Structure 1
Amino acid sequence: MKITVDMSLCQDHGQCAIAAPDVFRMNEEGKLVYDTAPDDSLRTEVEEAADVCPVQAILVQD
């Protein structure tokens, strides 16, 4: 699984970090950082994070 976040769309709401904290997190400056290739065992959480993103900035690929 590969994750891409369109940082030109991302507004750092942090909903993804709540849905999938093992993959997405907010750094000290409040900006999103994430694992671009998380383990497949986290797929459900990652797909939920993509679904809850208010600006639909997260793309999940196989």
Structure 2
Amino acid sequence: MKVAVDEEKCCGAGQCVLLAPEVFDQRDEDGVVILLDEQPSENLHGSVREAADVCPAAAIEVSEDA
């Protein structure tokens, strides 16, 4: 799995951080997503997919071919 984020789309809702704090964080000044791990371990794949699914701005892209 490979993860990418679009900071321009991010609205700072923070659902990704709540679901996968090992993979996502937020900038203090504006809440925009920070990608901590672009190739998370397999045990995190479910929470990363869920984070991408619930992102209100569709700012998280998940590719299964890592």
Q: TM-score range by the shorter chain?
A: 0.7 to 0.9
Q: Provide the TM-score with structure 1 as the length reference.
A: 0.84
Counterparts of residues 10-25 of structure 1 (less than 5 Å): 10-25=10-25
User: C-alpha displacement at 1:58, in angstroms?
Assistant: 0.6
Q: Which structure 2 residue ranges, 5 or more long, are not aligned?
A: none
Report how many residues are paired.
62
Moved over 3 A (4+): none
Match of 2:48 in 1: 46
Q: Provide the TM-score with structure 2 as the length reference.
A: 0.80
User: C-alpha displacement at 1:49, in angstroms?
Assistant: 0.4
Q: Which structure 1 residue ranges, 5 or more long, are not aligned?
A: none
1:32 equivalent to 2:33? Answer yes
User: C-alpha displacement at 1:2, in angstroms?
Assistant: 0.5
What is the aligned-residue RMSD (CA, Å)?
Answer: 1.3
Identical pairs, percent: 45
